[in-house]
Amino acid sequence: MQDGIPLNARPALAGGERDSGDELSLFSTGSSLFSLEEPEGSPAGGAGELERRLGLWDGMAIVAGAVIGSGVFSTPALILGAVGSVGMSMAVWVVGAAVSMCGCVAYVELGTMLQRSGGEKEYLATAFPRPRDLMPFLFCLSFIAICSPSGLAADSGVTGTYFLYAGTGRAADHPEWAQRTIGVAVALLCVLLHGFFVRAAIRIQSALTVVKVLLLLLIVAVGAIRGISGSGGKHSSGFRDAWAGTSTHPSAYVSALFKVFFAYSGYTSLNYSIDELRDPARNLPRAALGGLLVTAVLYVLSNAAYFLVLDPDTVREAGTAVAGVFFNEALGRVWGQRIVPVLIGLATLGNVMCGTFAASRVIFEAAREGYLPLGAALGRISRFQSPLAAVAASGALTCLFVVAPPPGEAYAFLIDIGGYPTWLFCGLAVVGLLVMRRTHAHLPRPFRAWHAANAVTIGCAVFMCVVPFVRPSDDAPTTAIPHWAAPLAALAFIAASCGLWALRRWLAPGAISK
């Protein structure tokens, strides 16, 4: 690491060069406003580079840890409620795995071609340089303010659900304040670990990833044993008439797919912190694709296990604590209700840790580009060898999303509002990949995504961005929040961000080319 390197001396990407010297002082990373600058020559940190501390197994653990979160332990009931049948629920999980693998191969090509942290921010800046900074600016604000904190808040809330399930024995009807208090505590704990104890946090992430994998293996094993032995008991009727009640309305599948893709999200985590990955050309494909493939297999088998032990009505009634109900039915009160739910809570906490790690790196890179206020603070490496201010900002936004949504259907709303801009910018990033194959053909591509995979990802992105506005069928489950609320709120935020970009251009015309 080289402390004290001026930010305008950092290597620029082709098509995305920026001259930070003309930026508005409030947004500039070189601003003295609220600056955290250390005395010259101080080893306590500065505007330098993060260490390349992540190897192949660390990278695979981050990917698997970021993917395996609350989704597989909490969304099966929501997905079943949307599509109507066990067979279609299983099919949706398989489709989600296939589409996620297609998206992953595209992001591996992008990450190995543009080996710099920031993910879509870098890809959009290079693929769409005009209007200058608009696309990466919109992505950064959407990711930082909506996509990341909404998902982390959902995971934090599920952590609270499972801890409360272990303590009370109830899968639902917990006090709202108790669940949200635990969620805030989880977010603050992740800030503490990633802000002040970086190496220990990475080790804890890796350990909790092992816990998550072991939990999924235990679910699969228990389901297989009960299914083969036929000892599932009165509840084990999940696969009888597996396709009965299947919905035929497109909006039902959008609702289900948002939940499935939420469960599979996280495979791009290394793209946001690739500056810290050793030998990215070699390790990114192996870590990202390997971590996602293992997780996808475990997800599909785990859902099959749920339905081998529980009937569909029991799954629906379990809500977001379906894994706890599963273990209570399969292992009895002590193990199933008291011990294993605590492990599931720790597993989802590990997912919040991985998400906080990735989100803080996007904030860090966005601040160093002058996209955020107080960039000098948010884009600085602390004496603890972490982007401490960026980690704290991520935690603060997560806490806001934990406490802000109305009670009742907050979990599903958080997934939907975060999923919409995620798919919008994912589709644009893959379109940008195709654009760069023509406009930046000279860039090295150690890994090349298949044309079919790119087409699947773009097509799915269009589907996920258009169909949420289609009115649900009359027999769909009723909700207090309108079906258009989440996508409309996301689009409104993106439109407001366009206005902020225009204001930034007006106040600092030299910062963005005309």
Q: Which domains does the chain have, with CATH numbers?
A: 52-507 (1.20.1740.10)
Asked if 263 and 69 touch (Cβ cutoff 8 Å), the reply is yes
**Helix, strand, coil distribution of the chain in percent, nearest 5:** 70, 0, 30
Diameter of the chain measured on Cα atoms? 72
Cis peptide preceding 407, ω within 30 of 0: no
Per-residue pLDDT of the chain (514 residues; tens, 9 = 90+): 333 323 333 333 333 344 333 333 344 433 333 333 333 333 344 445 556 667 787 788 778 877 887 778 878 888 998 888 899 999 999 999 999 999 999 999 999 998 887 778 889 989 998 888 899 889 988 988 888 888 888 888 888 888 888 777 666 667 778 888 888 999 999 999 998 888 888 888 878 878 888 888 999 998 888 777 765 554 555 677 788 888 888 878 888 888 898 889 888 888 877 877 888 888 899 999 998 998 899 999 999 999 888 888 888 888 777 888 888 888 777 777 778 888 888 888 888 888 888 788 888 878 887 788 777 788 888 888 788 899 999 999 999 888 877 655 666 677 778 888 888 999 999 999 999 999 999 988 899 999 999 999 999 999 888 878 877 666 655 666 777 788 888 899 999 999 988 887 777 655 444 3
pLDDT at 489: 87
Euclidean distance between CA atoms 219 and 319, whole angstroms = 17
Do residues 165 and 171 lie in contact, with contact meaning Cβ atoms separated by under 8 Å?
yes
CA angle 95, 101, 104 (to 5 degrees): 140
- Report CA-CA distances (Å) from 4 to 7, 12, 33, 69: 9, 17, 18, 37
Give the per-residue pLDDT at 412: 67
Separation of alpha carbons 346 and 183, rounded Å = 12
Contact 150, 401 (CB under 8 A): yes
Residues 6+ apart with CB under 8 A from 370: 18, 20, 23, 24, 27, 28, 29, 511
- Environment class of residue 191 by beta-carbon count within 10 Å: exposed (0-12), middle (13-18) or buried (19+)? buried
Residue type, 86: V
Q: Which residues pair with 277 in a beta bridge?
A: 54
pLDDT at residue 17, as a whole number: 40
Q: 241 is written with which tokens? A: 């008439």
Closest CA to 292 of 257, 268, 323: 268
